[in-house]
Structure 1
């Protein structure tokens, strides 16, 4: 296994940062950092160092969480070489997971009564969000993932995960293109962590609204993003459906186990608006 591969041998962009820095110093000399500071300025250099230090801390905490729970969820897995279903490989984003502290913070914005609700993670990757969702009283938890290798890792994780906080045991992962996924006829909480581009998201959210019109039921949508400014187009896209009400939520704090602070939004289906849109 190279420094650029995860435990399952998949290309992992989150590893090898210290090694790359050491190689740079060997190739260009110990004065290279000073040259870079002169080129980019002290403030930008400080921000660069801060970002990398934060990434290293978050990555170490993610891998410790994996070791503590005998699973493999950490890393930033690149999609180019994975075996995917559907035509949207080039529109998917790298596989990264919501941090445990970030997820718990988001869940505080949702009702405590989740009985009968199916949690669906669209673009579930290696399954960390599914495992975190199992700490809450959902009736079912489903991951939708288009990469075969990630589905296989997730299925192993679901079998091996042990945590005293776990209260939902009905977890599964399906390999499917999100744009072709059919939502179950149950109350829903649909979770997105910036899994793909806007054109795919528009199809998925339209499919969700069509499912809700066919059978009205309680539904929440959570969208989170820490890169690509995706929240800037996801929030208006959800509003534009005309059937969801955005709930007020507090801003996400800066957690050490998160590489970046997550911008997120929570929406609840407004059944009166749905009936008018009918």
Structure 2
């Protein structure tokens, strides 16, 4: 398979929303949207329109960020047609790029000295979060991604990204199923942006705990979720793993460059 970025056929759900809406009106007639408003009510219809406007604005800003930096990280990529490693394709969630302002807000909650930490993004997609993390003084940055097409794009982005804001240039992407990934024996910041189902998350969390028990060291876990209400089961799962303490953090503001507002939590590992 050709791994060139321009030849990879990704199903990007962020593109063509206006064209799809116009096609719907042409096919169904101008009165059909009015019937839908009557059926669902003004409140639900207004919220539907607002969600789509927010998505369009955030997507426009994401693609502007890409153009400014000469990379390709934007979009909402379906996994259906991608070539993945391992048996967990159906448990993976679509690849969505990270809002720079949302990521900066989370990182501002971390006052730790990060110089010895390895930043690990589980389900790193096209590398947006890895590039944003490179603005902080980590010892190293690692992405773990099971879709081969996304790995190819991410590696190209890392080669192209030359921001004066970068403080860490030790960036790598590992092509692997997260359930088989072995964490390095260094201080860790492990970042999850709702990458997969609860079943897979519990496997990865169990692997992380085993690594921390074999090699006790500082570890931060950041879990973010903007859909699937995953934060509601992720936080109890991390608590139940033992030796983690959740930090008190303020809620995420609404940022224009975010398709949805992220619910997030930050946990510290406390060796017993």
TM-score, normalised by the number of residues in structure 1: 0.94
Deviation at 1:112, TM superposition (A): 4.1
Name the counterpart of 2:167.
Answer: 167
C-alpha displacement of 1:97: 1.9
Equivalent residue number for residue 209 of structure 1:
209
Q: CA deviation at 1:9?
A: 2.5
1:227 pairs with 2:227: yes
Secondary structure of the 2:254 match is coil
**Residue aligning to 2:99:** 99
2:118 paired with 1:118: yes
Residues 127 and 187 (structure 1 numbering): CA distance in 2 closer, same or farther, change over 3 Å?
A: same
Q: Which residue of 1 aligns with 2:90?
A: 90
What CA distance in whole angstroms lies between the structure 2 residues aligned with 1:239 and 1:7?
43
The alpha carbon displacement at 1:110 in A equals 1.1
Match of 1:79 in 2: 79
1:186 maps to what in 2? Answer: 186
Asked if structure 2 preserves the Cα contact closer than 8 Å seen for 1:131 and 1:158, the reply is: yes
SS state of the match for residue 202, structure 2? Answer: helix
- Does structure 2 conserve the Cα–Cα contact (< 8 Å) formed by 1:140 and 1:168? yes
2:42 maps to 42
In 2: Cα distance, 1:60 partner to 1:205 partner: 35
- Give ranges in structure 1 of 5+ residues lacking alignment: 1-5
Secondary structure of 1:267 counterpart: strand
The root-mean-square deviation of aligned C-alpha atoms, in Å, is: 1.2
Partner of 2:150: 150
Q: Distance in 2 between matches of 1:47 and 1:23?
A: 21
Q: Deviations over 1:51-72 (max 9, x none)?
A: 0000000000000000000000
CA shift for structure 1 position 111: 2.2
What is the count of residue pairs matched by the alignment? 268
Structure 1 SS opposite 2:267:
strand
Deviation at 1:8, TM superposition (A): 4.1
Divergent runs of 4+, >2 A: 6-9
Q: Is the 8 A contact 1:7 1:72 kept in 2?
A: no
Give the Cα–Cα distance (whole angstroms) in 2 for the partners of residues 211 and 150 of structure 1: 27
Q: Distance in 1 between matches of 2:209 and 2:178?
A: 14
1:41 is paired with a residue of what secondary structure?
A: helix
Name structure 2 gaps, 5 residues minimum.
Answer: 1-5
Q: TM-score, normalised by structure 2?
A: 0.96
Q: Deviations over 1:35-56 (max 9, x none)?
A: 1111110011000000000000
* 1:2-21 to 2 correspondences below 5 Å: 8-21=8-21
* SS of equivalent to 1:65: helix
